[in-house]
Structure 1
Amino acid sequence: MSKNATLNSDVRIEHDLIGERAVPAEAYYGVQTARAIDNFHISGVPLYHYPELIKANAMVKLAAARANRDCGLLTDEILRGITGACEELIEGKLHHQFPLDVFQGGAGTSTNMNANEVIANRSLEILGHRKGEYEFCDPHNHVNCSQSTNDAYPSALKLAMALANRDLVAEMGGLVADLRAKAAEFRHIIKMGRTQLQDAVPMTLGQEFGAWAASLENEIEALKQMSVLLLTVNMGGTAIGTGLNAPEDYPERCVVHLVQITGMPIRLATNLIEATQDTQPFVIYSAGMKSLAIKLSKICNDLRLLSSGPRCGLHEINLPPMQPGSSIMPGKVNPVIPEVVNQVCFRVIGNDLTVTMAAEAGQLQLNVMEPVIGLAILESIKLFKNAAHTLRHNCVRGITANEERCRLGVEHSIGVVTALNPYLGYDVCTDLAAEALRTNRGIVELVRERGLLTEDQIRDMLNPEKMLGPMRRI
């Protein structure tokens, strides 16, 4: 048995700087993970709730192992074991062996060691040894070779976010496609546009949905661009960026292997000392998600307004009824899907503030707050993916239009007088609007009464379909 581990029937005894600690015999994690499990009872949310982070850690460790073999620091046999363990983690296996709370002190050391220990113990099994026989494959000496938490952990965080961002972009893209489908379906439905919640000028319901789609599409494109910043890593910087304990050509070799493993255009930072203490890529990406949250929440507000009623609200659209809306008011159905997406957006905006404060809290050569930065961003991505999926399938696809209600609003609106501005002038149109509002009469009726336009001109100028874009002067 290893000098670092002693086997018992149900546990094995491992040793570290603090002393001896019992570890469950069947566990792939080791003593340092066991201590962290004891120390951090904070959120109740384990690391394995974020599989992208576990996969990213395995990718980083595999790239490091291959680079260390290139540099002559690992044998082919040890590389074989580490490779097998990392590939299993990338495939989604053994993720339950990452039970650490997502909130933790130590700048990510506990997460890094959780990965090192699981990979080491699974490597030992692949190589024909027992868990804890670390002389054959050690969490520190082999799996963590040429690394520090301070380069491996942030690199894994960035990679996890980049991986998760691809799924987020795909799900948000699906939401955009569904909004565009509704824009096409509603392209013929005339309604009143509104500014400051007051009647403005006519538009189509399709134009309204199309604008929402374009708004989200812009945010998705911004996220794609911002995520590129996550692909610059500081592997090889080790503790503070000086590269202590890493071979001279290790950083470049590690990044080459990381590109091959991930298929992503990952780059090595030009200044590893700066990159080790810098959290700005996280800040910029988080800001992009905040911007998306603002846009998405605004769209959900609009959906709730347009579906308000059914008798005493706008009632221009119907959201699919998902559940009874009240425990006391019979027949009431609430817009629960937009409401829950609103709440997701609020949480994402709050997470961005967390990222901002944590990034500001860095001192000297390291920012120890990276765990909460990682949690905030990965949680936001996860929430957004689920929210977009829910909004698409449980709301947008089932929306129907109340076409008659929409047209009635146009026909009775004073806002159509705006179309007469180029022909009658602002002052005359203002007087018409004021009289229509005061007497509850229609604009067309007043124009006829005053003899301001011929019938042909009225039909041409006040035709709602002709108010949907630039108008020719008559």
Structure 2
Amino acid sequence: MGFRKEKDMLGDRNIDTSKYYGINTLRAMENFDLGDRYVNLDFVKEIALIKKSAAMVNIRLKSLEEEKGKAIIKAAEEVIEGVFDEDFKINAFQGGAGTSTNMNVNEVIANRALELLGAEKGSYDLIHPLNHINMSQSTNDVCPTALRIAAIRKIRKLADALAELQEAFQIKENEFANILKLGRTELMDALPMMVGQGFGAYAKAIERDRWRIYKVEERLRVVNIGGTAIGTGLNATNKYIYMMTDMLQQLTGLGLARSDFPMDVTQNADVFVEVSGLLKACAVNLMKISNDLRLLGSGPKGGLGELVLPMRQPGSSIMPGKVNPVIPEMVAQVAMRVVSNDAGITFAAASGQLELNAFIPLITENLLESLELLEKAVIIFREKCIEGIEVNKEVCKENLEKSTAMTAALIHHIGYDKASDIAKKALSLGITLREAIYLENILTKEEVDKILNPLELTKPGIPGK
């Protein structure tokens, strides 16, 4: 293994000649040696896309020689394709507001461009990571812009996954539209309902999540590229700034817009808090639904047992035959992680100071992880759980008949107090509500049957009238 020598303001270092990264990346790898949680590669690739865009613009502005620019563009494209993924090994939790990641991309593109021109890696007098790859840029406009682009792409995928989950719940709503079950409030017996109505409520919750997340893309479209270090645009011409926005629109296919006040976008990260907050709301709904399914599917003999969840794997190393609701449990844990990530994003955004937020790396890692986890969890939830759910009709019927919850239907006929007495009698004697009413001999059998018709109890109106 050979080495090449690179230098910076702190001194010289030997770099493995097989590596495309340089001295800045090496120092960052050593300084932030926290394990193998590296910077999100999708974020890296969006930075490379910005470098490609900058090279194309700078060629047109004649700020960059065409031969060098074309080599830079080709090298950036290879980074986007994933050719050099192994050269991006800086920990996600790095100091410097993302400078290390930006420099990592600059160095890899520079050294690959040198190679394409027939020069040796490290020949920075020909193509320099900063003078050429980072021309008219700063970490502080590159990283926020790359994060916004990466987040938008993932938001679109998540919105699509949520739309499919919503549809899956709606299919179950129709499939179970005529199956009665006992409703529950505060885990106690409540009024009858259709099984399908419960799934319809889940569909509505996911519909809200889908719409909110789809719409929040608009909040991320405004970018500060061209604002350079603090948003004033030093070292970037007006032509460059406008052309960069146009070029990024063209290359991404996204409706990106130039900020009319780049200093705001450079220093304030509240938009990411807003996006994360909507992801948290989605996580809350997913966790509530997954916990409902675990409860309704509990048993098979000692729990509620009204739903039958698809069996995915044996559940115990000591209890043969036990099968756990592993998919809803996974979804709940993803939801917990997203809520935790939101807390981190909130603290990081609030901790920015003056003209820059130093904690963009944490915001980047947490936001992109939340988006990725939610998309994957939603797809797995739909495919491996929701689509295969069945109803235990006999258990639903038995639980409904044993309950005194239908006493609410008697209120308009015999009053609340008398209805309460009948419910108490049914429980104490271990008989059904219907049988307890017959014993009181205050309503005819026809009247009772009409009032306690479960189908009448699942929609608006006064039963029996």
TM over 0.5: same fold? yes
Aligned equivalents of 2:120, 2:329: Cα separation in 1: 52
Aligned to 1:129: 119
Shift of 1:72: 2.8
Is the counterpart of residue 18 in structure 1 residue 20 in structure 2?
Answer: no
Task: Please tell me whether the aligned partners of residues 52 and 164 of structure 1 are also in contact (alpha carbons under 8 angstroms).
Answer: no
Segments of structure 2 that go 5 or more residues without pairing to the other structure are none
- Counterpart amino acid of residue 14 in structure 2: A
Shift of 1:349: 0.8
Shift of 1:172: 2.8
Pick one of 128, 141, 145 that aligns with 1:151: 141
Shift of 1:257: 0.7
Shift of 1:472: 5.5
Aligned partner of residue 201 in structure 1, secondary structure:
strand
- Counterpart amino acid of residue 133 in structure 2: V
Shift of 1:218: 0.9
Aligned to 1:177: 167
Aligned to 1:39: 31
Task: Please tell me whether the aligned partners of residues 426 and 435 of structure 2 are also in contact (alpha carbons under 8 angstroms).
Answer: no
Q: Which moved more, 1:252-261 or 1:85-94?
A: 85-94
- Counterpart amino acid of residue 217 in structure 1: E
Aligned to 2:307: 317
Aligned to 2:87: 97
Is the counterpart of residue 355 in structure 1 residue 342 in structure 2?
Answer: no
Is the counterpart of residue 457 in structure 1 residue 460 in structure 2?
Answer: no
Q: C-alpha offsets along residues 206-256 of structure 1, whole Å, 9 cap, x if unaligned? A: 111221122122112111222321221111111111111111232221111
Identity %: 43
Segments of structure 1 that go 5 or more residues without pairing to the other structure are 1-8
Shift of 1:386: 2.6
Q: C-alpha offsets along residues 35-84 of structure 1, whole Å, 9 cap, x if unaligned? A: 1111111132122xx33212211222222223323333122222212221
Is the counterpart of residue 420 in structure 1 residue 415 in structure 2?
Answer: no
Alignment of 1:403-414 (within 5 A): 403-414=393-404
- Counterpart amino acid of residue 237 in structure 1: G
Aligned to 1:294: 284
Residues paired across the two proteins, number: 464
Aligned equivalents of 2:25, 2:32: Cα separation in 1: 11
Shift of 1:168: 2.1
Aligned equivalents of 2:118, 2:446: Cα separation in 1: 92
Pick one of 168, 173, 183 that aligns with 1:193: 183
Task: Please tell me whether the aligned partners of residues 409 and 462 of structure 2 are also in contact (alpha carbons under 8 angstroms).
Answer: no
Alignment of 1:101-112 (within 5 A): 101-112=91-102
Pick one of 56, 61, 69 that aligns with 1:71: 61
- Counterpart amino acid of residue 38 in structure 1: E
Aligned partner of residue 249 in structure 1, secondary structure:
helix
Pick one of 323, 327, 339 that aligns with 1:337: 327
Is the counterpart of residue 52 in structure 1 residue 42 in structure 2?
Answer: yes
Aligned partner of residue 299 in structure 2, secondary structure:
coil
Task: Please tell me whether the aligned partners of residues 201 and 416 of structure 1 are also in contact (alpha carbons under 8 angstroms).
Answer: yes
Aligned to 1:252: 242
Aligned equivalents of 2:410, 2:334: Cα separation in 1: 44
Q: Which moved more, 1:395-404 or 1:126-135?
A: 126-135
Task: Please tell me whether the aligned partners of residues 42 and 150 of structure 2 are also in contact (alpha carbons under 8 angstroms).
Answer: yes
Task: Please tell me whether the aligned partners of residues 162 and 209 of structure 2 are also in contact (alpha carbons under 8 angstroms).
Answer: no
Pick one of 237, 242, 252 that aligns with 2:232: 242
- Counterpart amino acid of residue 416 in structure 1: M
Q: C-alpha offsets along residues 293-318 of structure 1, whole Å, 9 cap, x if unaligned? A: 11111111111100111112100012
Task: Please tell me whether the aligned partners of residues 296 and 345 of structure 1 are also in contact (alpha carbons under 8 angstroms).
Answer: yes
- Counterpart amino acid of residue 461 in structure 1: I
Aligned equivalents of 2:376, 2:247: Cα separation in 1: 32
Q: C-alpha offsets along residues 441-461 of structure 1, whole Å, 9 cap, x if unaligned? A: 322223333344333333332
Task: Please tell me whether the aligned partners of residues 249 and 255 of structure 2 are also in contact (alpha carbons under 8 angstroms).
Answer: yes
- Counterpart amino acid of residue 31 in structure 1: I
Aligned to 2:192: 202
Shift of 1:14: 1.4
Is the counterpart of residue 211 in structure 1 residue 201 in structure 2?
Answer: yes
Q: Which moved more, 1:436-445 or 1:107-116?
A: 436-445
Aligned to 2:318: 328
Aligned equivalents of 1:459, 1:360: Cα separation in 2: 62
Aligned to 1:3: none
Q: C-alpha offsets along residues 263-316 of structure 1, whole Å, 9 cap, x if unaligned? A: 111111121112110001111111111111111111111111001111121000
Aligned equivalents of 1:241, 1:467: Cα separation in 2: 62
- Counterpart amino acid of residue 249 in structure 2: V
Shift of 1:468: 1.8
Aligned partner of residue 176 in structure 1, secondary structure:
helix
Aligned equivalents of 2:227, 2:49: Cα separation in 1: 17
> What is the aligned-residue RMSD (CA, Å)?
1.8
Task: Please tell me whether the aligned partners of residues 273 and 349 of structure 2 are also in contact (alpha carbons under 8 angstroms).
Answer: yes
